[in-house]
């Protein structure tokens, strides 16, 4: 089976690493000459709205999937005429726009921060008057890794905020005084079969994910599965979906969903029976899903900008290196390490060892 992937970054690369043993081959459509997935499959170098190359991709593959959600809607609609596309155009439409996404959560009874659609500075002033400060202003689309958002603490932060984010449609959200951030990675097959990985606790720095730790028997697991299950059913979703929550007052508030494999699920490559990448491919290909059971205690640490010396990373016991083959760049995710340890105290020790390597390299 040949899988077409829109996007050829590290997520596409890891999909191919998981799918190749299943007998799958891959074609990636990505305009970047150095798209790092090209080491693992055919690289169709073209813009995401280039109809000739999209048609070529559709003719070559059995189905198309995505490694990022900001794909133009017309691209998805165009491809859908010729080849099955998972997740669906509707799932992408909702997930790429924070207003549609939060409105869906609200309709499904999933708690969220207070939110308002912002089309002008006047809308923002009115929303701040009702939601209050502090609040977070976010562009409705194209935000990632903390980009496209602004924390509004005091009235002076509000006066020019809409223009500062580019005068594009935005969402204002009440600030959530969270005690933690967790994500749930779920997978749903074409036949509706659904599995959930254990909740993951995530730590960010400067808006970028640094550390994910998979939990054991998290008290909010069942609640998170209930919320995510509602979304999967609503969207008749096929594939892996990541759902990020704020932990607050002993409950959960929905932050956002990603309709794809997700950075907070990378630990599953070594830390779970079947990884998020393999399970995404199984789901979109109509194959039976694999077990999401955790193996031992597991965590993932991102390498941002640069990968520490390979020999030092792999010298750490229980540590598995994933080097994306990307050039150094400040703030760029260039690799990660997965830890899989027999117990929690060993895991904590090994996290400290990798963090120290990151600090000193
Ligand atoms: P996002 O791109 O929406 O995931 O936001 C990036 C990060 O900003 C989150 O992981 C949080 O740490 C923080 N953040 C986003 N929205 C809020 C909010 N409404 N209240 C508090 N912190 C937030």
**pLDDT attached to residue 196:** 98
Give me the torsion for CA of 13, 18, 22, 24, rounded to 10°: -10
Q: Where are the alpha helices (DSSP H) in 88-220?
A: 89-95, 98-107, 121-131, 155-158, 161-164
In the chain the domains, ranked by start, together with CATH numbers, are 2-85 (3.40.50.20), 114-174 (3.30.1490.20), 180-357 (3.30.470.20)
Q: Give the number of other Cβ atoms within 10 Å of residue 105's Cβ.
A: 23
What is d(CA 10, CA 304) in angstroms, rounded to the nearest whole number?
13
Distance between Cα 192 and ligand 1 center (Å): 31
Q: Work out whether strand 2-6 and strand 63-66 pair parallel, antiparallel, or are unpaired.
A: parallel
- The answer for residues whose C-beta is within 8 angstroms of residue 20's C-beta and 6 or more apart is 26, 40
pTM: 0.97
Ligand 1 proximal residues by C-beta, below 6 Å: 113, 136, 138, 143, 146, 173, 175-176, 181, 204, 207, 244, 255-256
Question: What average pLDDT score do residues 321-328 get?
Answer: 95
Element (H, E) at 221: helix 221-234
Other C-beta atoms lying within 10 Å of the C-beta of residue 118: 26
| CA 210–ligand 1 middle distance (angstroms) | 14
| Arithmetic mean of pLDDT over the chain | 97
Average pLDDT over residues 174-184: 98
State which ligand 1 atom lies nearest to the alpha carbon of 135: 19
Q: Tell me: the pLDDT tens digits for 263-322?
A: 999 999 999 999 999 999 999 999 999 999 999 999 999 999 999 999 999 999 999 999
pLDDT score of 162: 97
**Per-residue pLDDT at 144:** 75
Atom of ligand 1 nearest to the CA of 174: 19
Instruction: Judge whether residue 207 has pLDDT over 90.
Output: no
Quick check: 154 pLDDT over 80? yes
Ligand 1 mutation target, pool 102, 127, 146, most atoms within 8 A of CB: 146
Burial of 136 from C-beta contacts in 10 A (0-12 / 13-18 / 19+): middle
CA-nearest of 107, 104, 110, 61 to 86 is 61
Q: State both tokens at 333.
A: 């995710």
Chain center to CA of 130: 31
Whether residue 145 is predicted with pLDDT greater than 90 in this model: the reply is no
For the stretch 69-115, pLDDT in tens is 889 889 999 999 999 999 999 999 999 999 999 999 999 999 999 99
Confidence (pLDDT) at 287: 98
pLDDT at 170 over 80: yes
pLDDT at 143: 80
Question: Average pLDDT in the 119-131 region?
Answer: 98
- Percent of residues, the chain, with pLDDT higher than 70: 100
């Amino acid at each position: 089976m040949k899988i077409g992937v829109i996007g050829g970054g590290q997520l596409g690369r890891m999909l191919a690493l998981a799918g190749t043993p299943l007998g799958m081959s891959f074609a990636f459509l990505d305009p970047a000459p150095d798209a790092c997935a090209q080491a693992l499959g055919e690289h169709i170098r073209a813009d995401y709205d280039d109809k000739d190359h999209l048609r070529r991709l559709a003719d070559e593959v059995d189905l198309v999937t995505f490694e990022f959600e900001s794909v133009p809607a017309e691209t998805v609609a165009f491809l859908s005429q010729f080849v099955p596309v998972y997740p669906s155009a509707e799932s992408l439409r909702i997930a790429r726009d924070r207003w549609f996404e939060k409105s869906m959560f609200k309709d499904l009874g999933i708690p969220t921060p207070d939110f308002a659609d912002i089309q002008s500075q006047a809308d923002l002033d009115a929303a701040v008057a009702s939601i209050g400060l502090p609040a977070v202003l976010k562009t409705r689309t194209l935000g990632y890794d903390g980009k496209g958002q602004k924390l509004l603490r005091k009235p002076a932060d509000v006066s020019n905020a809409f223009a500062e984010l580019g005068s594009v449609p935005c969402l204002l959200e009440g600030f959530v005084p969270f005690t933690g951030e967790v994500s749930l990675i779920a997978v749903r097959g074409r036949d509706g079969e659904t599995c959930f990985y254990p909740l993951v606790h995530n730590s960010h720095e400067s808006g970028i994910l640094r550390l994910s730790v998979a939990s054991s028997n998290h008290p909010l697991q069942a609640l998170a599965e209930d919320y995510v299950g509602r979304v999967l059913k609503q969207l008749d979703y096929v594939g892996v979906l990541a759902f990020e929550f704020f932990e607050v007052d002993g409950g959960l508030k929905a932050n956002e969903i990603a309709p794809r494999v997700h950075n907070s699920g990378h630990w599953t490559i070594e830390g779970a029976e079947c990884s998020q990448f393999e399970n995404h491919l199984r789901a979109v290909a109509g194959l039976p899903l694999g077990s999401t059971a955790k193996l031992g205690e597991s965590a993932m640490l991102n390498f941002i900008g640069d990968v520490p010396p390979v020999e030092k990373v792999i010298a750490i016991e229980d540590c598995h290196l994933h080097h994306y083959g990307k050039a150094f760049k400040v703030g760029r995710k260039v690799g990660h390490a997965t830890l899989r340890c027999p117990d929690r105290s060993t895991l904590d020790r090994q996290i400290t060892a990798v963090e120290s390597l990151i600090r000193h390299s």
